[in-house]
Every structure is written in C-alpha cells, then in structure tokens.
Structure 1
Amino acid sequence: MVRHIVFMKFHDFSLAQKAKEKLLSMKDHIEVLQDIEVGIDFSRSPRSYDLALVTTFATKEDLETYRIHPYHQNKIVAWLKEIGTETKVVDYEI
C-alpha cells in the first residue's frame, strides 16, 4: 500500500474549505483512490500549512494513475495552480 500526503498553503485561508470540497470530490471520480482524508489546520501557527490531504493507494502504479488522471489534473491540480497554492508532498509505502 502507498500513502500520498500533500500539505497546502493558500494565499487566502478562506479558500481552504472550497479546496477541501474539491479534493473530496475525487473519491467519486478516481477509481484507484482507496481512501481519502482532508483536514483544515486549526492551530494557524506560523509553521502550519492550511490543509492536509492524505490518500491511500494499493500500489505505486495506482498512485501514478491518480497523478495523471484527467479529473485530478484538470479539476484539482489546475485549480490549485490557478489560485497559487504552495504544496509539499510525501509519498511512502505502508
């Protein structure tokens, strides 16, 4: 199994809720996505990112399928780039 975690920081924190809704919509469109969790940071410390996305896949190949999936690229990644989201990613096997 593979875990894919993305931390996001928005120029406008009010975008976090909209991002959460968009990210959760992937569950209905990307078959290889086994589990998804999205959390909005409540501490708002200077070290914090605004949102965490945690996804789970069966294999590294499924993670790659997700990465290039049209819904992910066109509906999620494109929007995050459009609004200027800063991201950090960690991928690991579990």
Structure 2
Amino acid sequence: MIRHTVLFRFRPEVDWSDARARAAEAATAGHPDHIEEILGWEFGRNMTERPVAYDFALIGTFADRGAVDRYLVHPDHVRGVELWKEIATWVVADFAVA
C-alpha cells in the first residue's frame, strides 16, 4: 500500500471565500467517484492558525506505485491539478505503508 499525501498552501491573495478555492476543494472531494485506483481518500481544510500550517491536506491510499502513476495521469486528477495551480502551491510525499 502507498499513502499519497499532499499539503496545499494558498497564494497570498486567496482564501476560502474565493470561489476558485471551493472549486478546487470540490474537485478533490470528487476524485474517488472517478478514479478507481483510489482505495482510501481523506482530505480537509486546515483548522489551525500557526504560521507553518498549510491550508488544505489530502491523504490517498493506493495499492501500489503503478496505481499512483495511473491516478496522476487520470483526466479527473489532471483537471483538479489545474484548478489548484491557479490558487496554491503544494508539497507531496508518497510512502509505503508498513
């Protein structure tokens, strides 16, 4: 199993009142409905005000590296990436679950 973890940080001019942020969140929420490789999917808005905090996080569970690779090029995921690119930067970590 692989956990795909992503932390998003809004660009300075963006917050949750921005319709683009809500559209990106909705696209992320819908990925499991369209991408069969996703075995588990958790996501949510940050709840803290710490300066080091990111604004949004997701954790996806996949069977193996091949499933992650297929997810990354899936049209629904690519559409979500385009939405996030407009409003945020992000960091990613994929790790094997022991």
Q: Separation in 2 of the partners of 1:40 and 1:76?
A: 16
Q: Separation in 2 of the partners of 1:3 and 1:13?
A: 27
1:1-94 alignment, distance < 5 Å: 1-11=1-11, 12-14=14-16, 15=18, 16-73=21-78, 75-83=79-87, 85-94=88-97
Amino acid at match of 2:5: I
Shift of 1:19: 2.9
Aligned length: 92
Cα contact 1:44–1:50 (8 A) shared by 2 = no
TM-score by length of 2: 0.86
Shift of 1:78: 1.0
Structure 2: gaps (5+ residues): none
Structure 1: gaps (5+ residues): none
Cα contact 2:23–2:83 (8 A) shared by 1 = no
Q: Separation in 2 of the partners of 1:13 and 1:21?
A: 15
CA RMSD of aligned residues (A): 1.3
Percent same amino acid at aligned positions? 34
**1:17–1:79 CA distance, 2 compared to 1 (3 A):** closer
TM-score by length of 1: 0.90
